[in-house]
Amino acid sequence: MYQFSNFNRAEIGPPQYPRLKDGYEGICLIEKTFIEDTRFGPALIVEMTVMTSNHPENQAGERVVWKQDLTKKDVCDNAMLQFAAGVLGVNRDDENSVNALKQQMQALMNYAVFQNPENNNFTKRYVCIRAREIQTKNSGRDFTVYDFYPYVQNGS
């Protein structure tokens, strides 16, 4: 029979927001950036509010997350650079701008996740996102990739 115990060690964690669904295209507002220890290791968490959506399962006004596993450096560094370029409006085709961003990434990310998760260079900004499902190379599991693109306001 189960014995109820150890509630003194139990925690009520933060809300677990859903992720964007395969095929989503729209605009999100970045709300918060932080590191979370998951059962698989550390992950970058970006909380966002959906502003526009083409997907019935991700409606405008919904809070969603992007989680990036930080244990595989060859994957996570590329994903975080694409995230930063998209949110900060860096032109991917401009090698000088991309190189300048690369030089700033360590400081930008450290500040965003450790010093000021709710008010940094990424928060309070809009970004265009396309979510697409792929299969992981090793396990063949389905995995949703977020592609980040600069938000350009009409008329500007």
Residue 155: per-residue pLDDT: 54
Q: How far apart are CA 92 and CA 128, in angstroms?
A: 14
In a domain, 14, yes or no: no
pTM: 0.86
In a domain, 119, yes or no: yes
Taking residues 96-122, what's their average pLDDT? 96
**Among 149, 11, 3, 138, which residue's Cα sits nearest to residue 87?**
149
In a domain, 156, yes or no: no
For 29-89, where are the alpha helices, taking DSSP H only? Answer: 73-88
Taking residues 11-40, what's their average pLDDT? 89
Confidence of residue 23 (pLDDT cuts 50, 70, 90): very high
In a domain, 12, yes or no: no
Residue 4 has pLDDT above 80, yes or no: no
Residue 1: per-residue pLDDT: 61
Place of tokens 């979370």: 36
In a domain, 15, yes or no: no
Taking residues 120-148, what's their average pLDDT? 90
User: Within 13 A of 2's CA, how many CA atoms are on the CB side?
Assistant: 3
In a domain, 4, yes or no: no
Return the percentage of the chain with pLDDT > 70, whole number: 95
In a domain, 146, yes or no: yes
DSSP-assigned letter for residue 138: T
Residue 141 vs residue 77, higher pLDDT: 77
Residue 154 has pLDDT above 80, yes or no: no
Q: How far apart are CA 43 and CA 64, in angstroms?
A: 15
Confidence of residue 2 (pLDDT cuts 50, 70, 90): low
Least confident of 35-49, 54-68, 94-108: 35-49
Boundaries of domain holding 50: 25-150
Express each pLDDT in 79-94 by its tens digit: 999 999 999 999 999 9
Q: Which helix (H) or strand (E) holds 67?
A: strand 63-69
Domain count, the chain: 1
* Number of other CB atoms surrounding residue 105 within 10 Å: 14
Q: How far apart are CA 85 and CA 67, in angstroms?
A: 17
User: Within 13 A of 14's CA, how many CA atoms are on the CB side?
Assistant: 12
Express each pLDDT in 32-53 by its tens digit: 999 998 888 899 999 999 999 9
In a domain, 2, yes or no: no
Q: How far apart are CA 28 and CA 47, in angstroms?
A: 10
